[in-house]
Amino acid sequence: MMISHSVQVLLLLSFFLTFCDAKHEEFVECMSIYSAKTYIKSFKYIHAPNSKSYFNLLQSAEQNPRWLNSTSSTPRFIITPYDADEIRAAILCSKKHGLQIRVKSGGHDYEGLSFLCKTPFIIIDFINLRSISIDLEKETAWIQSGATLGELYYNIAKKSGVLGFPAGVCPSVGVGGHFSGGGIGTMVRKYGLAADNIIDALFMDVEGRILDRKSMGEDLFWAIRGGGGGSFGVIIGWKIKLFRVPPVVTVFTLHKTLNQEGVGLVHQWQQIATKLPEDLFIRVVIQGSDIDGKATQKVVEVLFNSLFLGPINELIPLMNKSFPELGLTEKNCSEMSWIESVMYFTGYQPSDPLELLLDRTIQYKSYFKAKSDFVEKSIPDNAFGGIRKRFLQEKLAFLIMDPFGGRMEEIPESELPFPHRKGNLFNIQYLVKWVANEDTESKKHEYWIRELYNYMEPYVSSSPRAAYINYRDLDIGVNIQNHNISHSHVVWGKKYFKGNFKRLAEVKRRVDPGNFFRHEQSIPLLV
């Protein structure tokens, strides 16, 4: 008897759904066994593709719409654990069912590696694990990895007006990814990276064991503070050292044009930015700007964007002595509390409530591509002509230069996996954003930033040309083998970690010998 085409399709669809349901049932049953939870309760934190919660969680993870064009598959399940038992169950059941794991904290991985995978996988989303406990007497805090920087800053400010923490400027970034990659912020010259100020952690290994600093050992504790996320295990929480901040800080942003005068100011900034007192952080941002909103009258701006840990009456004499060319005056400056300066660098207005820091949604969501560099010698003035020419071709492009010196000069390269310390004047983040979804449009902007990156090669670090793991860039290489160090690993590994790469691979071999925790740029095994 012949079966119609429509009936065949229905039979195939029925078989597929039955197969998926069976896989779902098996995984849920496994989770309930390993987490010691009842079968029904398991559904509260296991989200399958046929549920509305799965779709919502997936949408929130898509911080960069460019990822949607990826050939990677969607996760079999999204797990939103409430405790360590459920994380353990997710690890053990994923191993049992041949699934990889991606761990999402804030979801800001620049290449989406906390969200994408080319083989069957699950996402562990830390949305329910973001508690923050602050000890005012000891000036420390325990933070679960799902908390964002904004939530951390907000909680510190609600507890104390004289404590702060040196981390990044984007409040929707998750601490899990930010800390594990290093963490550069506006107080980097005063206190170093966020990772420099981690004093303990709770870590779950491939066997589901929970380890703290003492039980994991100093090698692993070293590796997770700057070695990048997704390589060694799952970090559940961090203990950090808080720092005293003055009751009044000063901020300013001066807009100049990248003409002869602007280039001269950038030249002078390169000479003095790392030598300034460590209380003063001045970063430079180059960006395109339309005059009166008319794209035909576009100029390229250079912004001098600063935080000073003190009042205006201390900043002005300092600037008059160290950087008089900038012409800073009191009217260019604003005094505020440290937490208000966090709001300022995020782009909020002075009248905006602090509760905006609790918004976990990324601001200005758009397609983007980013790259990074470190600079050891001043970029010559004539190079900025080529930069200006290229920025006139783009609508939404940024070149951000964060100065080092201060505390960054004092910490040895080998202290943490992040090696870009003494001898680096500043780091560069290149960023291009666009709105249109067309494939040709994306390729045009990606080509632009790659061409800019190639243009900058003579002016930045070399042997290797270094890069920052928190500005992850798959252009500089991906893992092409599941095991052992390949030439491709060496390319990106040396760029991110320089001489620390081998030690990271040695730690990887010891703590995850089966290479279960892996992605396109995870630390490989050393053999």
Neighbours of 108 (CB within 10 A): 22
The helix (H) or strand (E) run that includes residue 455 is: helix 439-455
**Residues 164-195: b if buried by 16+ CB within 10 A, e if exposed:** bbbbbbbbbbbbbbbbbbbbbbbbbbbbbbbb
Other Cβ atoms less than 10 A from the Cβ of 22: the count is 10
Q: DSSP 3-state assignment of 253?
A: strand
pLDDT score for 43: 64
Residue 405 tokens, joined: 């010196």
Yes or no: say if 288 and 394 are a contact pair by the CB < 8 Å rule: yes
Tokens of 375: 């600079």
Going from the first residue of the chain to its last (527 residues), give the mean pLDDT of each consecutive group of 10, the final group possibly shorter.
45 41 79 72 79 87 68 85 95 96 91 89 96 98 98 98 97 96 98 98 98 98 97 98 98 97 98 98 92 65 98 98 98 98 94 93 79 98 97 95 98 98 98 81 92 98 97 87 58 95 96 96 88
Spatial distance between the Cα atoms of 521 and 224, rounded to a whole number of angstroms: 15
Closest C-alpha among 185, 187, 192, 178 to residue 224: 178
What domains can be seen in the chain, in order of their start residue? 7-128 (3.30.43.10), 132-244+473-511 (3.30.465.10), 249-335+366-465 (3.40.462.20)
Calpha distance 393→390 (Å, rounded): 5
d(CA 491, CA 79): 34
With H, G, I as helix, E, B as strand and everything else as coil, classify residue 294.
strand
Which pLDDT belongs to residue 16?
A: 36
Which pair of tokens denotes residue 508? 């990887």
Cα radius of gyration (the chain): 24
**What's the CA gap between 333 and 331, in Å, rounded?**
5
User: What is the residue whose two structure tokens read 């620390």?
Assistant: 500
Strands of the sheet containing 140-144, edge to edge, are 132-135, 140-144, 234-241, 198-204, 210-211
**Tokens 């009456």, located at residue:** 313
pLDDT at 18: 45
Q: Strand, helix or coil at 473?
A: coil
Beta strands 121-125 and 100-104, pairing class: parallel
Give pLDDT, residue 60.
79
Place of tokens 């004539």: 382
Report how far apart, in Å, the C-alpha atoms of 58 and of each of 90, 216, 364, 471 are: 18, 33, 19, 22
User: Which pLDDT score is estimated for 489?
Assistant: 63
Tell me phi and psi for residue 507, to 5 degrees: -65, -40
**Pairing status of strand 77-79 against strand 121-125:** parallel
Cross-strand bridge partners of residue 46: 79
In angstroms, the CA 444 to CA 440 distance is 6
Helix boundaries (H) for 456-498: 487-497
Residue 5 CA, chain-centre distance (Å), reads 50
Per-residue H/E/C for 104-142: ECCCCCCCCCCCCECCCEEEEEHHHCCCEEEECCCCEEE
